A = this chain, B = another copy of it.
């Protein structure tokens, strides 16, 4: 299958590209290095330097003989994106090309504007370029479980049947994000759903939880193939941050009460979910929504797991609660369904001590590069 990956230089984009290429798909990646630029501007560089996308493709070719095409281009420029889609004629398109940081989107006007404009414009351009030049292409869009927020009722997979005054209606599950970034993902879903039902697009929207991990079948072949590992407050996800703090010998910073509960997954499972979505496309006019995570934890439970795993390799990790820089419930009901991907064939890689230990060992090998100050929150939700 010809698969086009937008945002192919990202934490998920690059491992996805390698995985699909190794599976025999014809893969092309596009990226404009926006995340690399923002990381520099905000002093949020990853733990270790990553080769650029062209060098990554070269290294992957050396290691596996597989060929990934790369194009450095901004998908918010419609003329560039339509040219790429017209020429490559993708059968599947994975849309990761968004500004992915919640704290960055809350930093101020310029950061919020960039997040809103970039994310909406790329989604809009993807919709139109596919409609105009590859109308049978199946779009696999990365959303987030954060679109749902933390409602007091069970979170279903994308849709909700509502009974009201004796009548029934199925709706898109109501969404309420916790940051401007999350809100742009809500807007993306609204936009995609409009064009799916009006023009018959084929879309799978993946509501993904926070991802952790470093190793995939491909990234473990060569250090140059490792994903960008962010541990800062801007791009670092919570598990990755805790592991770096444990290794650095500083307390793991829990925001507020630590009862915030979310669904998490291993990077390996992200790749498998995207593969399952691509290899099982939806018919024209269908928006399929899949909740993409494997286990629910509170932040306090995550911290405990990291403490336990650290103990096993002689690290005495500690936990420190700090004032919550975000506006979010710190104690709440959370029960999110996630059956669809399991039924499609996902076999979860759970957050075992072995998985956490392997990550910690790798982070320890880069210990001299850790800047612990980057982990503390620098953006506050309260204006």
Contact = CB atoms under 8 A, between A and B. Distances in A.
7 closest Cβ contacts across the A-B interface?
Answer: A171-B174, A153-B164, A183-B194, A153-B167, A152-B169, A151-B169, A153-B169
Interface string A161-200: 0111101110110111100100100110011011001110
A124 interface: yes
A112 interface: yes
Given A162-B153, A171-B176, A124 B113 contact: yes
Given A120-B120, A168-B152, A169-B151, A190 B194 contact: no
Contact of A381 (B168, B169, B191, B198): B198
A33 interface: no
Contacts of A153: 162-165, 167-169
Nearest to A154: B165
A283 to B, nearest CB: 17
Interface string A190-228: 110110011100000000000000000000000000000
A112 B124 CA distance: 9
A174 B151 CA distance: 14
Interface of A: 78, 109, 112-113, 116-117, 120-121, 124, 128, 131-132, 151-154, 160, 162-165, 167-169, 171-172, 174-177, 180, 183, 186-187, 190-191, 193-194, 197-199, 327, 333, 381, 383
Given A112-B128, A187-B191, 20 more contacts: A78-B109, A78-B113, A113-B128, A116-B120, A120-B120, A153-B162, A153-B164, A153-B167, A154-B165, A154-B167, A162-B174, A163-B163, A175-B190, A176-B194, A183-B191, A183-B194, A187-B187, A197-B327, A198-B381, A199-B383
Contact of A198 (B151, B198, B327): B327
B165 A193 contact: no
A177 to B, nearest CB: 7
A336 to B, nearest CB: 13
12 contacts: A112-B124, A116-B120, A120-B187, A152-B168, A152-B169, A153-B163, A153-B168, A154-B164, A176-B193, A176-B194, A177-B194, A190-B190
A381 B124 CA distance: 17
Contacts of A194: 176-177, 180, 183
Contacts of A198: 327, 381
B172 A174 contact: yes
A16 to B, nearest CB: 28
Contacts of A381: 198
